[in-house]
Amino acid sequence: MPRKGIQVILFLNVVLLLSLSARAQEIRKEAWPTENAVSEKLNRINITVDPELPAPVLHREPEFTWGTSNTIFWSSDSVRTIAQTYQYTLRIFEAEAQYLLNGSSVTLWGFVSGSTGSATFNNLPEAVPISYRLRYYAEDDTGGFHLSYWSAAVISRQDISAPIIDTDSSGIVGVEDFGTQRWIVGNEFYLRVAASDPSSGKVMQVAIQEENYPATYTTIIPPQAEIDTLIFHELKTAAKTPVTISWWVVDVALQTSEKQMDTIIWMPPNEAEDKLICFPNPFNPEQNGRVKILCGISQVTAAHIYDPFGNHVIELKKSISDNFFSWDGKNGNGEMVGSGGYLCVIEGKGQYYCKIAVYR
């Protein structure tokens, strides 16, 4: 390409950059009113002060901070010690928060006394990275002021929205609905938790609380914007006692989701192996829908219902891996049976049975 053509391209690029810079709006706002005592000292700094003192250190910020306000912290004692090594007196801290919003560069700034170790910025936007930094002014014996370099920046984002649990995909795995009650076999279960922090946060913990016992927390490493996980829990409540299980999630800004709850009963596995257990019993098909028959005997896939006169009513089927038979109160022709006592018997194992009282 001819030299003249290269010069034209470079000239156009410079013009474009200048044009873009002109469009980018820079907004500076005072973050809080300056105290009178600090203003008096600032008025004495009537010339530009070049940085010469060591930079202060801001405390580390979390990745996400709850709400629209954030307070940054530092050790004023440590900075005071630094100033004293130069035989200066620490007077003022200047703090800044900077972020990009809708194409504009926004800087919030403010001054606080040298005895202060924190500064709070309000009305911060959600989700965008916000960079914080700090510097200080110290005074010598002659009344002259000396400025530090800016601290290294610390960055955080504001998280306003609490996390959400997907109720359709979450719940206790393997629980059986026994009409008005929900049962599991054994005192251990897995809880499936599907949740997200939709706006700008991340899910950090899953909490499970068993009624009358403290909550237990499982940490998600690393925190995720969306989770779909299984959490193990061992029940402490006694067998055959209804217990309410609550669970919720916590995001990195320490916000909590709404609590989800389920009330269950657990049956000792050894009892399930010794006999059949029916629930609810008595059983009203029109109110309860179905009766569940707990069967912990291995390799059993069929059971039979007999009426009070020993007549066969219906055969029930289940898979080998399932612990429960289910009966809707109908016979093999799809007709609802009458009120009375019925017997559920395991095929080929007559000693394993349970009585079911049907009333309508």
> 160-169: string of b/e by CB count within 10 Å (b at 16+)?
bbbbebeeee
Sign of CA dihedral 300, 305, 310, 313: negative
Which CATH number is 164-267 given? 2.60.40.10
Tens-place pLDDT, residues 148-192: 999 999 999 999 889 999 999 999 998 876 656 788 888 999 999
Tell me the CATH class for 269-358.
mainly beta
Which sequence spans correspond to the domains of the chain?
18-159, 164-267, 269-358
- Same topology between domain 18-159 and domain 269-358: yes
Which pLDDT does position 221 carry in this prediction? Answer: 93
Report the range of poorest mean pLDDT among 12-21, 52-61, 333-342.
12-21
Which pLDDT does position 5 carry in this prediction? Answer: 45
Report the range of poorest mean pLDDT among 197-201, 204-208, 327-331.
197-201
What percentage of the chain carries pLDDT values higher than 70? 88
With beta carbons less than 8 A apart as the criterion, state whether 264 and 291 touch.
no
**pLDDT over 70 at 78, yes or no:** yes
Average pLDDT over residues 349-355: 76
Which pLDDT does position 4 carry in this prediction? Answer: 44
With beta carbons less than 8 A apart as the criterion, state whether 280 and 180 touch.
yes
Place of tokens 């390799």: 299
Q: Which amino acid is at 242?
A: P
Determine the Cα–Cα distance for residues 275 and 351; give it in Å rounded to an integer. Answer: 8
Which pLDDT does position 16 carry in this prediction? Answer: 42
> What's the number of CA atoms in the CB half-sphere (13 Å) around residue 330?
8
- Specify the CATH superfamily of domain 18-159: Immunoglobulins (2.60.40.10)
Q: pTM higher than 0.85 for the full model?
A: no
With beta carbons less than 8 A apart as the criterion, state whether 329 and 340 touch.
no
Kindly compute the dihedral angle of the four CA atoms of residues 28, 52, 92, 150, in this order, to the nearest 10 degrees: 40
Which pLDDT does position 50 carry in this prediction? Answer: 93
Q: How confident is the model at residue 18 (pLDDT cuts 50, 70, 90)?
A: very low
With beta carbons less than 8 A apart as the criterion, state whether 310 and 293 touch.
no
With beta carbons less than 8 A apart as the criterion, state whether 237 and 223 touch.
no
Q: How far is CA 3 from CA 6, 8, 129, 335, in A?
A: 5, 9, 43, 96
Report the range of poorest mean pLDDT among 17-31, 43-57, 123-137, 239-253.
17-31
**pLDDT over 50 at 13, yes or no:** no
Which pLDDT does position 255 carry in this prediction? Answer: 92
Please give the radius of gyration of the chain, using alpha carbons only, rounded to the nearest integer. 35
